[in-house]
Amino acid sequence: MPPDLEAVAEQVFAALADPSRRAILAALASGGPATATDLAARLPITRQAIAKHLALLADAGLVTAEPGERRRVRYRVRSAPMQVAQQFLAALARDWDRQLGVLRDHLDRAARGPAGTRDPRNPRTAN
Amino acid sequence: MGFPDRIERTVELAHPPEKVWAALTTAEGLAAWFGNEAAIDLRPGGQAWMRWAGEGFTAQMQVERVEEPAVFGFTWHIFGLPEDDPRRTYVEFTLEPAGTGTRLTVVESGFAQLPEDAHRKAYDGNAEGWAKELGELASYLDAA
């Protein structure tokens, strides 16, 4: 099934819009898989709120639930959906407008030459 | 589709295609406006790199198309993904004479690629990679 990139990106950004969910993801990323109870002990968030956030993160595909000892579910981060969001951001961050402006300035400077005799209106070229 | 797979920009330059071609395809030209240092083996399949001294960052490129002085294409790493990510975008410059100058078009495509198999193998359960990726994402969001 081909992933719907728009839907994936929307879910990832929605999931990351909440500081508690970012804290949960950061805790799982740095500390490895953990149960909701483990996370409640480490974060200033109630266990009930953590369970709600984990359910949303699981819907977004950002965490997966895996069975642990004594039926306690452990959560693990999944980075695949994040890759989609990162690619979206990469497209926004690629600043061709600025880069092409620099190219234009470079060509203009090079055409005026080091002696700067081509454009008497601009005193900076007459060095 | 709203998801950006490609970026396309056109700029009019008051210089002939030969001049623009040199700025795009020589180490000297690239180092003058793109990176701070550059090297290029200008042939399809040839390798090239640019280094930005301030950021301590190097971009590796592979030359794909060389049709002097009209088309120059290369692939490079997707900006923002981990260094070892195999995915790349394709950048193609097209130069058309326009009066005494040049109409330069740049198209960068491939941002939306998502190979079905690669990401699971490479990233699931990689806690160290995750910490780095989240940090990079945060930087992007901060800058936006």
- Total H helices, total E strands in chain B: 4, 7
CA-nearest residue to B88 within chain A is A87
Query: What ipTM score was computed for the predicted complex, to two decimals?
Result: 0.71
Residues of chain B with C-beta less than 8 angstroms from the C-beta of A2: 116
Domain spanning A5-82, CATH architecture: Orthogonal Bundle (1.10)
B90: contact with A, CB 8 A cutoff: no
The CATH code of domain B6-113 reads 3.30.530.20
C-alpha span between A113 and B134 (Å, rounded) = 46
Identify the H or E element spanning B13: strand B6-13
What's the pLDDT tens digit per position in A59-91? 988 999 988 777 789 999 988 888 778 878 888
C-alpha span between A59 and B52 (Å, rounded) = 40
What's the pLDDT tens digit per position in A102-127? 999 999 998 887 644 444 444 443 33
Counting Cα atoms < 13 Å in the Cβ hemisphere of B76 gives 17
**Cβ contacts of B128 within 8 Å, gap of 6 or more:** none
DSSP code of A125? G
**Cβ contacts of A95 within 8 Å, gap of 6 or more:** none
What residue spans define the domains of chain A? 5-82, 95-127
* Residue among A26, A102, A107 whose CB faces B20 most closely: A107
Q: Tell if the CB–CB gap between A100 and B9 is shorter than 8 Å.
A: yes
* Phi, psi at A104, each rounded to 5°: -60, -45
Q: In terms of residues, how long is chain A?
A: 127
What's the pLDDT tens digit per position in B79-122? 777 778 888 999 999 999 999 999 999 999 988 776 544 444 43
What's the pLDDT tens digit per position in A12-67? 999 999 999 999 999 998 899 999 999 999 999 999 999 999 999 999 889 999 88
Q: Tell if the CB–CB gap between A90 and B81 is shorter than 8 Å.
A: yes
User: Could you give the angle at the alpha carbon of A27 between the alpha carbons of A39 and A4, nearest 5°?
Assistant: 105
CA-nearest residue to A31 within chain B is B127
Residue-wise DSSP of B74-134: EEEEPTTS-TT---EEEEEEEEEEETTEEEEEEEEE-TT---TTHHHHHHTT-HHHHHHHH
C-alpha span between B108 and A124 (Å, rounded) = 35
Query: What's the whole-model pTM score?
Result: 0.67
Quickly count: other Cβ atoms within 10 Å of residue A72's Cβ. 11
